[in-house]
Amino acid sequence: MKKQASPAFTSSTPLFPVFVFLLFIPSFHARNLQQCSSSCGDLKNISYPFRLQGDPAGCGDFGFQLSCQNNAAVLNLRGGKYYVKGISYYERTIRVVDANLANGSCALPYRSLSMEQATEDGRFPSLITFWQANFFNCSGRIPELEVNRVPCLSGNAFHVYVNFSNRNLLATEIPGTCRVISRVPTSSENELNYAYETTLKLLASGFDLRWSVECRDCHTYGYSCVYRSNNDPRIFKCETIYEEDYGVQLAFIISYLVSNSIIHKALVVRFIFLPLVVFAFLLHKCLTTRKTVVDAEKLGLNRKISTPKRYSYTEILAMTNNLEHRLGQGEFGSVYKGQLLPKGCLVAVRLLAESKISEENFINQVSSLGKIEHASVVKLVGFCSQGSKRALVYDYMPNGSLDKHIFSDSVQLSWGKLHEVGLGIAQGIEFLHTACATCVGRLDIKPRNVLLDQNFVPKITDFFLAKLYSEKYDSEHMAPELISRDYGAVSGKTDVYSFGMLLLEMAGRRRNVSESISWFYDQVNDVELENATMQARKMLVVVGLWCIQTNASDRPSITGVVEMLRGKFDDQQMPPKPVSVSAHGRTGELQSDSPKQLLIPMSTERSA
């Protein structure tokens, strides 16, 4: 059902003239800014909303700032460098050309930019012509594209071609020996493959973008941008304001005034702005007090939760370039590096091994868990379920999995950083225990399932795959209650046990630490605390030993673990030694067995 516009924003209420007045002030300010004008090379009369770097603060909009380099105006767009060839203030368009293509020389674009990427910038909501040039790198010659071969970029073993299309090409439309290496919008209006000399002239002519201050402001505050009139493609407005959004819109207008440097004027602040804020607050108080019953269904509809996108297997092959770059192999399948072609974002694609789980169950699980978002959990951005082919698409983590950093002699993190990683993982587990009730006790925590982003922030991944694959757990990290219910029921403390084993692996820097638990007790008791760095390592040991207590009731909760890792080492007491548990349920005291050969001495300091 289409939602009705809020009565709070119709002309029959006192708030309507308030909005009219507030929206009038920025417009008046904008007209004042248009009096400024500057030039750079052949580009004259650069005025509102555009400005040149170095212009007085009152000139133009800083979001539309250009720079003047070597007597040419330059626009920075999504990391690319574009020369400005002209600006139409009537049509509200700006013509730009990629810096590498401006002189008609043989080159690739300065930066790849698809049509979708160009219009994702809130400042430029639309292109005038929706055509783009696609550059291919092929391992063999393509006869039908020979006229479009780029000679300066081609060699004996590889060949670069360029053609035109009105969208991003599908994987099935790209020759098997080729891959797309760059894109750029053009002013072409047909899909003909020109001779390369003609293509050079076309690329050098650039392309037109429609600019809009209104769209930029709408995007800034989380709203979509639409045409104000179907008869005029130059003017835009924010999406319709609904009743439940009025508080957000009030904040939008206040922030808008701030961003346009209006409220710094003392007269406006004292006699106009502050009274309006007081009035808006009283109105907000009145409306929220009257609304005593919340419609749960309506609330659910209004929540904006991102859900994972479903991809076809063909799209999976396209984003991974036919499974070209494998990142790793696990018990649940192989992981490949990929790229979302429309946006250019890097992703990690896990092709899953065959499972008995039904397609409906798989999609329901993935769709539900894909809504989980936390700083210490890898974001699931998409999935594939097509016949026997199933895949998960995650955000790409450039520093790989934790095991590569704790089980390697060449790449290691400092103890302080490892302590931060441990705390981050614990916080992620604590969140998952709240956000994913069906995952509790089944998170399969181990170094291979913890990824590190560009800042070495830990991200838990694959936390539900063990459940999908008949609870196929790694025995090294498997809690005793998963072997025998004599040690307690499966619960959140089952994940605490796995996390404790991970902490000990981090402190010991090697696998199979369950065989040397007594050694950790000996080291903590025998070695003096040399400095804060060593305290960080010993903190990992003590907390880890508490987490691997045999009986679940003796382990701390994950919330308790987070508090322990945030505390001081002096406050931690050593736990009793646990007993070992075999796969058949037999128990016995853990004994020390070759600690010096198995583990790095506690006194050894390593840094990243």
Pairwise CA distance, residues 393 & 338, whole Å: 9
> Has residue 216 got a pLDDT over 60?
yes
pLDDT of residue 590: 40
Token couple for 366: 């993935």
Tell me the mean pLDDT in the region 125-130.
84
Residue 212 in tokens: 């809009």
Please tell me the predicted confidence (pLDDT) of residue 158.
87
Provide the 8-state DSSP code for 25: H
Residue 91 amino acid letter: E
- Summarised one tens digit per residue, pLDDT across range 343-376 is 678 999 999 887 777 888 888 778 777 778 888 9
Q: How confident is the model at residue 598 (pLDDT cuts 50, 70, 90)?
A: very low
Where is average pLDDT lowest: 26-30, 103-107, 286-290? 26-30
Region 427-441: what's the mean pLDDT? Answer: 79
Q: Does residue 186 surpass a pLDDT of 80?
A: yes
What pLDDT does residue 586 have? 37
Q: Is the model more confident about 241 or about 124?
A: 124
Q: Which residue has the tokens 């007045």?
A: 21
Contact by Cβ (8 Å): 502, 450: yes
Mean pLDDT of the chain: 76
Give the integer Cα–Cα distance in Å for 222 and 368. Answer: 24
Residue 296 in this model has a pLDDT that exceeds 50 = no
What span, in angstroms and rounded, lies between the C-alpha atoms of 345 and 337? 11
Return the pLDDT at 411.
63
Q: Is the pLDDT of residue 18 over 50?
A: no
d(CA 500, CA 539): 12
Least confident of 24-33, 177-186, 245-254, 352-361: 24-33
Q: What are phi and psi of 464, to 5 degrees?
A: -120, 0
Q: What is the mean pLDDT of residues 273-289?
A: 65
Q: Which of 208, 217, 245, 444 is catalytic?
A: 444
Residue 94 β-bridge partners: 87, 209
Neighbours of 388 (CB within 10 A): 10
User: Residue 240: what pLDDT?
Assistant: 55
Q: Which range among 159-173, 231-245, 296-310, 385-399 has the greatest average pLDDT? A: 385-399
d(CA 320, CA 347): 9
Checking if the pLDDT of 115 tops 60, the result is: yes
Task: Tell me the C-alpha to C-alpha distance, in Å, between residue 286 and each of 8, 252, 296.
Answer: 12, 20, 21
Burial class (CB in 10 A: 0-12, 13-18, 19+), 398: exposed
Specify whether the CB–CB gap between 73 and 46 falls below 8 A. Answer: yes
Asked if the model's pLDDT at residue 273 lies above 90, the reply is: no
| pLDDT band at residue 294 using 50, 70 and 90 as cut-offs | very low
Q: The dihedral of CA 419, 423, 424, 426: what is its sign? A: positive
Q: Which tens digit of pLDDT belongs to each residue from 260-270?
A: 554 455 445 55
Higher pLDDT: 233 or 351? It is: 351
Say which range, 149-153, 216-220, 335-339, 519-523, has the weakest mean pLDDT. 519-523
User: Is the CB of residue 155 less than 8 Å from the CB of residue 176?
Assistant: no
Beta strands in 435-549 (DSSP E): 450-452, 458-460
Domains of the chain in sequence order: 7-17+216-302 (no CATH), 99-207 (no CATH), 305-396 (3.30.200.20), 399-608 (1.10.510.10)
Residue matched to tokens 């003609």:
198
Higher-confidence position of 472 and 360: 360
One-letter amino acid identity for 94? Answer: I
Is the pLDDT reported for residue 253 higher than 60?
Answer: no
DSSP secondary structure letters along 176-233: TTEEEEEEEEES--S-----HHHHHHHHHT-EEEE--HHHHHHHHTT--EEEEETTEE
| Residue bearing the bigger pLDDT, 608 or 369 | 369
Query: For the segment 402-426, what is each residue's pLDDT rounded down to a tens digit?
Result: 988 888 776 678 888 999 999 999 9
Q: How large is the average pLDDT for residues 536-565?
A: 89
* 3-state secondary structure labels for all residues of 105-148: CCCCCCCCCCHHHHCCCCCCCEECCCEEEEEEEECCCCHHHHHH
Residue 512 CB neighbour total at 10 angstroms: 10
**How much is the pLDDT for 20?**
40
Whole-angstrom distance, CA of residue 258 vs CA of residue 240: 23
Which of 445, 443, 458 is CA-nearest to residue 405? 458
Amino acid letter, 390:
R
Q: Are strands 380-386 and 309-311 parallel, antiparallel or unpaired?
A: parallel
The answer to whether 65 and 125 have CB atoms below 8 angstroms apart is no
pLDDT at 530: 54
Q: Which helix (H) or strand (E) holds 87?
A: strand 80-88
Average pLDDT over residues 137-152: 86
Residue 474 is predicted with a pLDDT of 56
pLDDT > 90 fraction of the chain, expressed in percent and rounded = 21
pLDDT per residue as tens digits for the range 486-526: 777 788 888 899 999 999 888 888 777 776 777 777 766 65
The pLDDT of residue 13? 42
pLDDT band at 217, cuts 50/70/90? confident
Residue 346 carries which side chain, given as an amino acid letter? L
Q: Which amino acid is at 588?
A: G
Indicate whether 301 pLDDT > 50: no
Burial of 224 (0-12, 13-18, 19+ CB in 10 A): exposed
Q: What was the pLDDT predicted at 210?
A: 92
What pLDDT sits at residue 238? 80
Q: Which residue has the higher pLDDT, 114 or 462?
A: 114
Using the predicted structure, report yes or no on whether residue 77 has a pLDDT greater than 60. Answer: yes
Q: In what order do the strands lie in the sheet with 131-138?
A: 159-165, 131-138, 178-186
* 444 noted as active-site residue: yes
* Both structure tokens of 576: 């009793």
Can you tell me whether residue 57 is helix, strand or coil? coil
- Bridge partners, 374 (sequence order): 377
Among 100-109, 210-219, 432-441, 444-453, the minimum mean pLDDT is found in 432-441
What pLDDT does 213 receive? 92
Least reliable range by pLDDT among 108-117, 331-340, 341-350, 591-600: 591-600
CA 353 to chain centroid, in Å, comes to 26
Type of residue at 269: V
Percentage of the residues of the chain whose pLDDT score is greater than 70: 71
Residue 73 reports pLDDT greater than 90: yes
What band does 65 get if pLDDT is binned at 50, 70 and 90? very high
* Cα 354 to Cα 361: distance, rounded to the nearest angstrom: 14
